[in-house]
Structure 1
Amino acid sequence: MDNSNNKYSIFKESGQQGLLHEISNGRLIFLICLFIAVLFWVLIKLSDVYTVNYSFNVRYENAPKSLRLTKVIDTTLDLSLTARGFTILKLNMFNDMNILDINLDNYNIDNRGNNQYSIYTQELITKLSDLVDVDEKDINLSKVTLSFEMEKTGERLIPIKVSLDISFANQFDQYTSIEVIPGEVMVYGPSKVLDTLSIITTAPLALRDINSNVSASVALKNPMPQIISMEENIATINFDVEKFTESEISVPINSSNLPFNIKTFPSDAKVYFRVAQKDFKDIKANQFYVILATDNVDVQLANKIPLRVVKFPDIVRNIRIVPSEVEFLIIK
């Protein structure tokens, strides 16, 4: 009796599971069919042609270098566009349809006199036609021209100063002076403002562990971007880097600059310096000139006189002299 009940129970559970499985499959098929139907409906709708209207706030940028935008007359522009749904969807997804940026570099600007300027919106229609891939006749703008005012500005050539933070690898150092290209930049703006500028600095440039020649581009910092403009926005800096070594050379102490004879102890001094390894072979003792620095020294009372290196090759640096001062004897 128990066995038969167990068998009945097993068959019953098996039947229920099969029914649930069939219901789940049915729901899945229904959802798939629904998704496909909706997808086809969306594709059909997106392939239809629609006319949509937009209202833009107009922003003007990149006025000619010698002019400054002083007043915006046309601040809004309405657009009517006829296109397929796909095109309109793409336009809405990837563009800000509230702001219209007009890059004046890309338009022919008409000077109407008295600082009055304008551009023709037909140029804008042509650009929009290429952008959204629709016929120009399907684009309508509410205005034929967009007007604004600009005034001529002063101009001044201002030197560029590099803001450079550099460290060199062990034994390496800067070999040539820093070359800045261009060394000066033409700046446009109100004359009163230009008169306050003495330099244009670059953005900070940090170079670390340098062991080879440097050529780098760096942005120029506009100190008043709302008021002035610059002809260039980028400068290039170049300088050579070499491996250096420290060396020393023995140089006679020369007292010929004094009105009396002096014998020094010692008679020679050691001059220490740094030089690029490739120039080391060119260093000679006669390229250095060491004298007794008697400025502000009463030779008759002093026990020692300081030494000074007054001549040395341009290719050496970090010069120091040992000893820094010497004992002496006046020979009568």
Structure 2
Amino acid sequence: MFDKRNIRIYYLRTLEKIRSFLLSRNSREFLIFLFFVFVSFCFWLLQILNDDYETEFSIPLRMKNVPNNVVLTSELPSELKIGVKDRGTVLTNYMLGQTFYPVTIDFKDYESKGTQVRIPVSTLLKKITGQLNQSTRLLTVRPDTLEFIYTKGEAKKVPVKLQGKIDLDRQYYISDVIYSPDSVMVYAPQEILDTITTAYTESVVLENLSDTTHRRISLAKVKGARFIPDFNDVTLMLDVYAEKSVEVPVRGVNFPPDKVLRTFPSKVQVTFQVGLSHFKAITAEDFFIGVTYEELLNNKGEKCPVKLKSVPRYVNHVRLNPQEVDYLIEQQIIFND
């Protein structure tokens, strides 16, 4: 560890070595060499900058006087890209010293042209060239046409829907998809608004999911429309498949009052897959196997095919055993009082 006295001695010795080096003959010759190198570089740079070059700059773009009741559903770009040609000294001044002022568009000038407005950039050239040196040539302006779309209050609420590819681990399935919010407001001119029935998310790819997943996903853009909010919090509820079987009675549908359907067997085994979270809740009463009187009248075989008329939510891969049953239509005697 150095104390203050040792630090001072070390500092003085270092200064003495630097001074001795600078006063030496070799040092003077080196410094003179560096000076001429610097002067040569300056002449070279001036010669280079005197040539003509092409480059590109950005000019901010703004819109003013937008009424409070107007919603821009397709906004202007934030800047214009201009390609110019001039001497290197002038271009260097643009890069280092000159600041371009925003090119401003007055909404009132285009309000009478409808809800979809196209502005040729040629109408803005005076505002652009006014900021350039007289020797500067304007070569290109990008984009060459400006467009904005707006609406004066036309809006409606539409549901949100997820789009994309979702890959799950084996034995897992999506038991529910929760959107927050489940619907959003869409603003657009009426002719565009009439074509929008759903707000779709941007396409997502989710692989090897094995647990409930939360994602904030932006909504897919629609030209001329604006969604508020423009994102959605999507929750994918995952569950594990389990297999379950219940016995469901076969019932007659639309039979005359004096006729009754008898089937053999009277019940059909229904086997299905369901998530563990709904395993106990799903019972035989949630299914309905019905055979209509008209179907039996048109039946050519000895047995009657059975079909599920009602299947509960969350149930998949349903199988019936047997798929056909023997049947008998009994005539009943109805006594009138």
Give the TM-score normalised by the residue count of structure 1: 0.54
Residue of structure 2 in register with 1:153 after alignment: 151
Partner of residue 243 from structure 1, selected from 240, 255, 261: 240
Contact 1:179 1:238 in 2 (8 A): yes
Partner of residue 66 from structure 1, selected from 67, 71, 76: 71
Residue of structure 2 in register with 1:138 after alignment: none
Residue of structure 2 in register with 1:316 after alignment: 315
Provide the C-alpha distance between the structure 1 equivalents of 2:32 and 2:245, rounded to a whole number of angstroms: 88
1:208-219 alignment runs, 5 A limit: 208-219=207-218
Contact 2:151 2:187 in 1 (8 A): no
Asked whether 1:234 is paired with 2:222, we answer: no
Residue of structure 2 in register with 1:122 after alignment: none
Identical positions, percent: 20
User: 1:69, CA displacement in angstroms?
Assistant: 8.8
Provide the C-alpha distance between the structure 1 equivalents of 2:240 and 2:101, rounded to a whole number of angstroms: 55
Provide the C-alpha distance between the structure 2 equivalents of 1:32 and 1:220, rounded to a whole number of angstroms: 66
Contact 1:56 1:98 in 2 (8 A): no
- Against the structure 1 CA distance between its residues 67 and 290, is the aligned structure 2 distance closer, same or farther, given a 3 Å change threshold? closer
Provide the C-alpha distance between the structure 1 equivalents of 2:253 and 2:58, rounded to a whole number of angstroms: 85
Asked whether 1:267 is paired with 2:269, we answer: no
Provide the C-alpha distance between the structure 2 equivalents of 1:151 and 1:330, rounded to a whole number of angstroms: 68
Contact 2:73 2:187 in 1 (8 A): no
User: 1:174, CA displacement in angstroms?
Assistant: 1.0
- Against the structure 1 CA distance between its residues 204 and 152, is the aligned structure 2 distance closer, same or farther, given a 3 Å change threshold? closer
How many residue pairs get aligned? The number is: 243
Residue of structure 2 in register with 1:30 after alignment: 30
Residue identity matched to 1:59: L
Provide the C-alpha distance between the structure 1 equivalents of 2:215 and 2:273, rounded to a whole number of angstroms: 26
Q: Secondary structure at the match of 1:192?
A: helix
Contact 2:246 2:284 in 1 (8 A): yes
Please provide the CA RMSD for this pair: 5.1
Contact 1:272 1:321 in 2 (8 A): yes
User: 1:163, CA displacement in angstroms?
Assistant: 1.6
1:34-183 alignment runs, 5 A limit: 34=34, 57-60=59-62, 66-67=71-72, 92=95, 153-154=151-152, 155-159=154-158, 160-179=160-179, 181-183=181-183
Provide the C-alpha distance between the structure 2 equivalents of 1:110 and 1:56, rounded to a whole number of angstroms: 20
Q: Secondary structure at the match of 1:212?
A: coil
Q: Secondary structure at the match of 1:176?
A: strand
- Against the structure 1 CA distance between its residues 311 and 185, is the aligned structure 2 distance closer, same or farther, given a 3 Å change threshold? same
Provide the C-alpha distance between the structure 2 equivalents of 1:309 and 1:242, rounded to a whole number of angstroms: 24
Unaligned runs of 5+ residues in structure 1 are 1-25, 43-54, 77-88, 117-140, 143-149
Q: Secondary structure at the match of 1:236?
A: strand
Contact 1:182 1:236 in 2 (8 A): no
- Against the structure 1 CA distance between its residues 327 and 31, is the aligned structure 2 distance closer, same or farther, given a 3 Å change threshold? farther
Provide the C-alpha distance between the structure 1 equivalents of 2:230 and 2:102, rounded to a whole number of angstroms: 21
Provide the C-alpha distance between the structure 1 equivalents of 2:295 and 2:220, rounded to a whole number of angstroms: 47
Provide the C-alpha distance between the structure 2 equivalents of 1:287 and 1:66, rounded to a whole number of angstroms: 49
1:219-251, CA deviations, whole angstroms, 9 ceiling, x for partnerless residues?
222221xx4444333222223111111222222
Provide the C-alpha distance between the structure 2 equivalents of 1:151 and 1:313, rounded to a whole number of angstroms: 46
Residue of structure 1 in register with 2:198 after alignment: 199
Q: Secondary structure at the match of 1:193?
A: helix
Provide the C-alpha distance between the structure 1 equivalents of 2:75 and 2:276, rounded to a whole number of angstroms: 59
Q: Secondary structure at the match of 1:175?
A: strand
- Against the structure 1 CA distance between its residues 233 and 282, is the aligned structure 2 distance closer, same or farther, given a 3 Å change threshold? closer
